[in-house]
Amino acid sequence: MKSRDMADYGFVHWVPFNRSNVRELLERTPEEPGVYVIRRATPITRRSGESDIVYIGSAANERGLRTRLRHYFHPGPTQRTNQRILTLMGDSQDFEVSFAVLPVRSAARALEGELLGRYEKEHDELPPENHRRA
């Protein structure tokens, strides 16, 4: 599963995902619930095949995608995933994010689970920064 396979799910517009682009990213990110995918310019070798997808996540709370992505750039002391992703991407130009807006929070969780399941089936493991299933 690669980012080009995500177009069928609505992931068609990719935005640079780094500290220097945070303002533009957040301005373009909707406040509705949804799923987001982070990709890397250089594909990563997986147990089976390779993929440019680094992380698949959802914003299934009332604050939506914009707030969820904002948390990556301002992680709290207990937000290990956000800290890990921020350290990984830093100021690199290698990472991009895309998102699919969904009408309800439960649909966001369901799509996240479906995408993680598909990724895991194709590569025999989760994306490298997804340390557990949703």
Annotated domain spans of the chain: 3-122
- The model's pLDDT over 25-65, given as tens digits with 9 standing for 90+, comes to 888 898 999 999 999 999 999 999 999 999 999 998 767 89
126 phi-psi bin (left φ>0, alpha ψ -120 to 50, beta other): beta
Q: Does domain 3-122 have CATH number 3.40.1440.10?
A: yes
CA 53 to chain centre: 8
pTM comes to: 0.89
Read off the amino acid at residue 31.
E
Quote the CA–CA distance of 53 and 63 in Å, as a whole number. 25
Please determine, for residue 134, whether its predicted confidence score (pLDDT) is greater than 70. Answer: no
What percentage of the chain has pLDDT greater than the value 90? Answer: 48
Region 125-134: mean pLDDT is 82
Average pLDDT of the residues of the chain: 88
